[in-house]
Amino acid sequence: MKDLAGRVLAGEISAAARAISLIERREGDRASLLSALYPSTGGACRIGITGPPGAGKSTLAGCLGQRFVEAGRAVGILAVDIASPFSGGALLGDRIRMQGLANDPAVFIRSMGNEGRPGGMCSAALDAIRVMEAMGKDVVLVETAGVGQTDVDVAHCVDAVVLTLVPESGDEIQLLKAGVMEIADVIALNKSDRPGATGLAAELRETVHARGEVDGWKTRIVRTVGTDGEGVAELYETLEAYSGHLKNGDRLAVLRERQIRRELRERVEGRLASRLNAALERKCLDRAVVRIHAGEDDPYNAAEGLLTET
Amino acid sequence: MKDLAGRVLAGEISAAARAISLIERREGDRASLLSALYPSTGGACRIGITGPPGAGKSTLAGCLGQRFVEAGRAVGILAVDIASPFSGGALLGDRIRMQGLANDPAVFIRSMGNEGRPGGMCSAALDAIRVMEAMGKDVVLVETAGVGQTDVDVAHCVDAVVLTLVPESGDEIQLLKAGVMEIADVIALNKSDRPGATGLAAELRETVHARGEVDGWKTRIVRTVGTDGEGVAELYETLEAYSGHLKNGDRLAVLRERQIRRELRERVEGRLASRLNAALERKCLDRAVVRIHAGEDDPYNAAEGLLTET
């Protein structure tokens, strides 16, 4: 792991890919790997790209990545798919790769599923983001599969959230208002050359206006057409503006501290759950049930004993 | 606690009431109290009475309790209300009390809320059931507030589940089919003198028929009118038949063992969660966040440390 960490820190692509695989598969001594990388992390601008399926998130992530590269930044793109195992995440990554970005040495693209295990996705995404930071990326774009809770979870791993919508999303807005819109710092109204874009833009402006400023920032709406790059420059400028806003005062520090607090809780809960499951697999539970059934123990003593064994 | 246990075992009503209060408020050394009582528990016939609000569960519990008393059995009635704190549970208990049963020395009635804390209700209900068994009750009727998950939870604490429906429940059946109906051993179609009872009975019979026998028992449907006692004798006989079915072979032993397994898991998870919350209250999390923020620690080491402190 020490060696792997050294190779990631040296910017070796195969080492970073291997590290993210370990995180995805929850294998190996990830904690010591990530501990070794940690001092070299936290420096990138972390941008989440969320939104419903079909909104063009991959295309937009590709365009944005290209724009950051042109600005001389090293870019990591992480496609997170909580719903599917490897295949789904790979699909997302493939879509981005098709844009030719993958041939650019400044860009590292990786997709990550969760092997069908619920929970812990926020920690796993943070781990992968940190690997990308440790290998030297200045910007990490995190694309989600757009399945509700993942979008909300990803907001706890990034500095900025771009909510991607399309004119057809009109009907979903009511639904989105409840949760996902609340976490959007920037809304990309993508495929905005389609009918209904102007109406949706007006509706979104109204919603954003009603919400007002949150900590000095009012959600901005940018009309884009990802397939021909229209509006991507404005989206890039808007993100740079938001990044500047975060760096003004201690906003970024406060945000990151809140995220670390959340991350710690998730990690501790996850490890407690793992311990409990490990204990149950070790047949401790079976033995306790047998003892209780035989009248040699009771559920209260037994629970205390199981707690010690976990 | 030793003294309290002794008084409960001697059948002292005030001691049993005090014990259930401790369980409800999660106060005192409940584990040692319940450990002391445990060898004297498990002997009662435990019957859950579930169903939507307004189905007449309290009235039916009162009638059934009366019937068991007439058969020479000592009866405990536990009204469990997960949604409300004390007041809600007390209300349920009061409804039963109004029937005059409370004056019968063979009957012990107690309501239990959960103080607005979610989770652990199954363990708490089991604790209260055991107190009633330790004080000498032969039958424990557990009435739930009828709020979905509580109904399903209560099934894990009892031997038999009576699902109480009314003709007006027709529309809810589709909903109920999914979960609550699956756990019903007996369906009491209460207020069956009202219009729609015959239609609903036919519909229920069809559903029950489609499900078929489960471990040699096919859910039985009994039409009742709790307010004038109609059908209560048949409901009583049906429960006695089900009780006999359970005692045939090792069915009851297998059922109880499965419940104890579940109970142990719930208790261990509950204690782990308590430890975690206690650790967080002890400011461990705050200190960890500060250390990470200062660059003196990382989230991976810190999570391991928090795990040790919990």
**Residues of chain B predicted below pLDDT 50:** 84-90
- pLDDT reported for residue A95: 57
- Å from A262 to nearest chain B CA? 10
- pLDDT reported for residue B302: 87
Give A103's contacts (C-beta < 8 A, 6+ positions apart).
none
Is A142:A132 a contact under the CB 8 Å cutoff?
no
Q: In this model, does residue A279 exceed pLDDT 90?
A: no
- pLDDT reported for residue A170: 66
- pLDDT reported for residue B171: 62
DSSP A231-300: THHHHHHHHHHHHHHHHSTTHHHHHHHHHHHHHHHHHHHHHHHHHHHHHHHTTHHHHHHHHHHTTS--HH
- pLDDT reported for residue B90: 46
- Å from A56 to nearest chain B CA? 34
pLDDT bucket at A144, cuts 50 / 70 / 90: confident
Is A161:A50 a contact under the CB 8 Å cutoff?
yes
- pLDDT reported for residue B147: 57
How many other C-beta atoms are found inside a 10 Å radius of the C-beta of residue B41?
18
- pLDDT reported for residue B266: 82
What dihedral do alpha carbons B171, B173, B179, B184 form, nearest 10°? 140
Q: Which two tokens stand for residue A72?
A: 């001389």
Q: Which two tokens stand for residue B231?
A: 């059908």
- Selected residue with higher pLDDT from B59 and A136: A136
Is A56:A191 a contact under the CB 8 Å cutoff?
yes
The DSSP 8-state label assigned to residue A166 in this structure reads -
| A195/B contact by beta carbon, under 8 A | no
Contacts of B271 in chain A (CB under 8 A): 303-304, 307
- Selected residue with higher pLDDT from B188 and A99: B188
CA-closest candidate to residue A25, choices A151, A131, A124: A124
Is A266:B303 a contact under the CB 8 Å cutoff?
no
Contacts of A264 in chain B (CB under 8 A): 285, 288-289, 292, 299, 302-303, 306
Tell me the CB-side half-sphere exposure of residue B43, using CA atoms within 13 A. Answer: 16
CA-closest candidate to residue A147, choices A168, A127, A118: A118
Is A189:A223 a contact under the CB 8 Å cutoff?
yes
| Tens-digit pLDDT profile for residues A22-79 | 988 888 888 889 999 999 999 999 999 988 778 888 889 999 999 999 999 999 999 8
Q: In this model, does residue A17 exceed pLDDT 80?
A: yes
Q: Which two tokens stand for residue A204?
A: 């979104």
Alpha-carbon distance of B47 to B50, in angstroms, equals 10
Is B236:A268 a contact under the CB 8 Å cutoff?
no
The DSSP 8-state label assigned to residue A180 in this structure reads G
Minimal Cβ distance to A302: which of B264, B269, B298 = B264
- pLDDT reported for residue A99: 65
| Tens-digit pLDDT profile for residues B199-223 | 889 888 888 888 889 889 999 999 9
Amino acid identity of B33?
A: L
CA-closest candidate to residue A164, choices A55, A62, A66: A55
ipTM > 0.90 for the complex:
no
Q: Which two tokens stand for residue A257?
A: 């501290």
pLDDT bucket at A234, cuts 50 / 70 / 90: very high
Classify A310 as helix, strand or coil.
coil
Q: In this model, does residue A87 exceed pLDDT 50?
A: no
Residue of chain B nearest A124, judged by CA positions: B300
- pLDDT reported for residue B230: 93
In Å, what is the CA distance from B148 to each residue of B82, B172, B181, B226? 10, 11, 11, 22
- Selected residue with higher pLDDT from B7 and A92: B7
Contact A31 B257 (CB under 8 A): no
| Tens-digit pLDDT profile for residues A147-199 | 566 667 788 899 999 999 988 876 666 555 555 677 899 999 999 999 889 98
pTM of this prediction exceeds 0.90: no
How many other C-beta atoms are found inside a 10 Å radius of the C-beta of residue B137?
27
